[in-house]
Structure 1
């Protein structure tokens, strides 16, 4: 008894048998030779026989085994065998499935085969080649091969071991080691040994089917690295490919299999830059998934394709198609550098997922321009905001991926505007492709540059200086005029209470000269600072200080809070240095935008202190802290140093308390 009966004679037959064995489906496999039996796994779920069966024997086997399904995966040219299997299935009322060889839906040729209609065409083709040829088409047309130049040396004729045949061949000039008289059938091993011994590059055969040892010849030629010249055209059949057959079995028996997903970094697009491991994973995959450009660059003809890069949609597709065992998801560059691999790894965690590294464009690019990258900052501004100005200002070497045609020009203009127009640019586009382009020059020479939408840029700034590790820019460093400014010591304490992170989004309400805004921006290189100021003179000073300190992540907003805050992105932190009597409404809006916001308020007037204290009580804040800071600064009077007191500052700090909603 078995659930499936497989007539195997091809690689696909072996693979479907292995699939059934893995799924623990009781299967019987009929192969034509003992060699075919050795290729299959030994298992309690797999029984194997290697006798050649005629129609009657096939019918008896089906009646005895009662399979619910018969899979015919015999060789395409074993037409008589396929006919017998079909007839036996009809008579026993057993479902029949034809499993095609790879490519059989269009053409059953393989990469090492040349098809011709006749021996004459074979001779014509061989006349254009060089290298030894093993001819197995028989003695009746052997005379036609004498048209080939140097045929006595090139052609090795294998014919029947009959005296009249040998004499006929000898009369044509085939003799000695070039005349092989043997009686078949010949095993794959003997064919392979003969091809290697004679150093043949070609094997000529007719489509003789199983009895003529056709399949053994094809396999031997493949293993010996020879090209098969096949007399006869490929057959066209209807049936299922391997994956379609697996899908049928999955539906029929409710099968699931352990899908193995490779997240493959394919480099920049040129297959020559793929790693050997990546090429192997791609070649072995039954299904390729990725963007169209990436899939087309590595696709093999017999692979199924899903053009998709959304991780959730990929998961849904794989859930619906358990027939795929080996899947490769193609990702540009390297899987660890701003890649979709991170999300895919999590989304597909129920499967067996592995990541295969690829060559990222920044690494390739740095090698191309002869620069090391171990001491460079490597980042990406492709599809996301990145404060490149701050990185360039504070690091001598910066590498980034850019994602728009005008990105290089925009960066060049910004740097030039900040007085850094002489830093060096290297720009790479279409990396690894035949039209690869790399240009270099000073930043100011790229202000009108328009390039490819995707590029890599390397910026070299030999005058870069790192940031101090603490707050405290000197008061004298700021442009001030007559606009009030939060003093250095007060800024240090206030910002310490604020507790910024490098990616914080901050509001500075009542920014004045922008001393707090600038210090915020310097401490949040991956974040954003909004300086809100209503006075025109102060706004101009803000812009000048932004320019002086090159804080490109600082946005100056002219207007009155809270109205000026409404359209801004959600803040994580807010500093209030001036509220124009609107403190409560400002705080309410901040809490509305982010109930967990961190707030610091600086007050000088007692009325402001009282209002801030009241707000801390009536609004949902926690971790409320109030300190008073008095700073005295020495002033030289004659030969003496006198301590001169600054205005005492009251500093409130608090965190929004997210109110829990009552359960209904």
Structure 2
């Protein structure tokens, strides 16, 4: 930081406050120790540890030879680390050890968010990450591998495997490996190849390779990561799945043409958190989940038979990021996290209360309401007067599909559907 500030000061001709107080600034080196007990520590990182007068990190990190004989602080929480350093100004050159590489799901991020650059001159030293190590062990380049983490956080591994030929993920130990393999099998990816690395860099390191079922029956280690190889990735736009592909039963279903425009107008991101209110068969739910594959879709449905269909379509289309909520909105929405986007396909007469509940959770939510009756569209048009929303547009769709009659094609009309788009007034 100090060197950068001085360079900018000299280039643009302004005074650099750090120059006057440079002797007061302490040095903080954040060092990636790589995999194992310092197996992936670089020579530059090792020198930074040797030069430090205090070494900080989790107990496992402090076992590296370079830290031997030095004062240590066995701690990894940023607030506690800086509180300790405030109480011990005698330490001027601090080495903070983090596992893996400083740039890949590392504790370095939270440390950098807390550090005061006027007090610390910070430098980062990369280590050999589990990504690099496992890919080298598997004999594959990692430049085209999709990188995610399911370690102490949710991740849609299935959704990422569907879209990519190779996926790397950190996992929650052996249980995380088993959960991943069970999901891959359940959601239609039983034949993909999985390479699992356990306790990488340690003497007890294990490397396993096979289909998910074979990995499930294997003896696993404690610290785990995996590479999943999909020979047939599907990166196509998931919008407008043919109606015939859904398991339908007797529940109502939004037709393909209406579904495509409705999902498009929601403007979902890959990590959106979405409600589907009155989800029916789950056709809209599935397309939203395939679009927001790193997000979550909560399908709220009051009818048990329809909710069962959503569960079936969830498995058929491989969308574990769908959560089926059985109950009537808005009561069933009370304990759900705040949505970024909401699709309302059926409100059971509770439209205003549903929208009010959504806005209470997120005043900036984007909301789409579909209507097929004039009575419902009348209620929809009143929303800006009774709720804190702004109407962006209302579109009426009149779609017709061809059907064969001998050598002729006749057009069969669908019911007209109104698609109303709203956003919170503070958006």
Asked whether the two chains share a fold, i.e. TM above 0.5, the reply is: yes
Q: Which residue of 1 aligns with 2:6?
A: none
C-alpha separation in 2, matches of 1:593 and 1:272:
47
Secondary structure of 1:316 counterpart: helix
State how 1:274-423 maps to structure 2 within 5 Å: 274-348=41-115, 349-350=117-118, 351-423=120-192
1:517 pairs with 2:285: yes
2:394–2:418 Cα contact (<8 Å) kept: yes
Q: Of 236, 242, 258, which residue of structure 1 is paired with 2:25?
A: 258
- Tell me the CA shift for residue 513 of structure 1: 1.2
Give the total of aligned pairs: 405
State how 1:532-547 maps to structure 2 within 5 Å: 532-547=300-315
Q: Which residue of 2 aligns with 1:615?
A: 383
Q: 1:616 to 1:299 in 2, by over 3 A?
A: same
Q: Which residue of 2 aligns with 1:152?
A: none
Secondary structure of 1:406 counterpart: helix
2:187–2:319 Cα contact (<8 Å) kept: no
2:200–2:223 Cα contact (<8 Å) kept: no
Q: Of 574, 594, 597, which residue of structure 1 is paired with 2:342?
A: 574
Cα deviation per residue 1:33-64 (whole Å; 9 max; x = unaligned)?
xxxxxxxxxxxxxxxxxxxxxxxxxxxxxxxx
Secondary structure of 1:314 counterpart: helix
Give the superposed CA RMSD.
Answer: 2.0
- Tell me the TM-score normalized by structure 1: 0.59
C-alpha separation in 2, matches of 1:401 and 1:258:
36
C-alpha separation in 2, matches of 1:594 and 1:638:
54
C-alpha separation in 1, matches of 2:197 and 2:338:
36
1:628–1:650 Cα contact (<8 Å) kept: yes
1:630 pairs with 2:398: yes
Secondary structure of 1:271 counterpart: coil
- Tell me the CA shift for residue 514 of structure 1: 0.8
- Tell me the CA shift for residue 359 of structure 1: 0.4
C-alpha separation in 2, matches of 1:298 and 1:525:
43
Cα deviation per residue 1:496-553 (whole Å; 9 max; x = unaligned)?
2211111111110111111100000001111000111122322222112111100110
C-alpha separation in 2, matches of 1:623 and 1:614:
10
1:605 pairs with 2:373: yes
Secondary structure of 1:322 counterpart: coil
C-alpha separation in 1, matches of 2:41 and 2:61:
12
C-alpha separation in 1, matches of 2:23 and 2:242:
68
C-alpha separation in 2, matches of 1:499 and 1:272:
45
Secondary structure of 2:265 counterpart: helix
Q: 1:320 to 1:515 in 2, by over 3 A?
A: same
Q: 1:523 to 1:356 in 2, by over 3 A?
A: same
C-alpha separation in 2, matches of 1:624 and 1:462:
43
- Tell me the TM-score normalized by structure 2: 0.90
Secondary structure of 2:24 counterpart: coil
1:409–1:450 Cα contact (<8 Å) kept: no
More displaced, 312-321 or 456-465? 312-321
Q: Which has the larger radius of gyration?
A: 1
1:269–1:297 Cα contact (<8 Å) kept: no
1:257–1:322 Cα contact (<8 Å) kept: no
Structure 2's unaligned 5+ residue stretches are 1-21
Structure 1's unaligned 5+ residue stretches are 1-254, 660-664
Q: Of 196, 210, 213, which residue of structure 2 is paired with 1:427?
A: 196
2:38–2:61 Cα contact (<8 Å) kept: no
- Tell me the CA shift for residue 593 of structure 1: 1.5
2:199–2:222 Cα contact (<8 Å) kept: no
- Tell me the CA shift for residue 256 of structure 1: 6.6
C-alpha separation in 2, matches of 1:579 and 1:449:
48
- Tell me the CA shift for residue 302 of structure 1: 4.2
State how 1:216-227 maps to structure 2 within 5 Å: none
C-alpha separation in 2, matches of 1:322 and 1:338:
30
Q: Which residue of 1 aligns with 2:17?
A: none
2:300–2:327 Cα contact (<8 Å) kept: yes
2:36–2:199 Cα contact (<8 Å) kept: no
1:406–1:449 Cα contact (<8 Å) kept: no
Q: Of 428, 441, 445, which residue of structure 1 is paired with 2:210?
A: 441
C-alpha separation in 2, matches of 1:403 and 1:391:
18
1:408–1:450 Cα contact (<8 Å) kept: no
Q: 1:623 to 1:309 in 2, by over 3 A?
A: farther
2:297–2:323 Cα contact (<8 Å) kept: yes
Q: Of 347, 360, 366, which residue of structure 2 is paired with 1:592?
A: 360
Q: Which residue of 2 aligns with 1:268?
A: 35
2:53–2:93 Cα contact (<8 Å) kept: yes
1:406–1:450 Cα contact (<8 Å) kept: no
Cα deviation per residue 1:625-658 (whole Å; 9 max; x = unaligned)?
2221211222333333333321111111111124
Q: 1:521 to 1:450 in 2, by over 3 A?
A: farther
Cα deviation per residue 1:57-90 (whole Å; 9 max; x = unaligned)?
xxxxxxxxxxxxxxxxxxxxxxxxxxxxxxxxxx
2:339–2:365 Cα contact (<8 Å) kept: yes
Cα deviation per residue 1:235-287 (whole Å; 9 max; x = unaligned)?
xxxxxxxxxxxxxxxxxxxx972211111011123234311101100000111
2:196–2:208 Cα contact (<8 Å) kept: yes
1:506 pairs with 2:302: no
Q: 1:346 to 1:559 in 2, by over 3 A?
A: closer
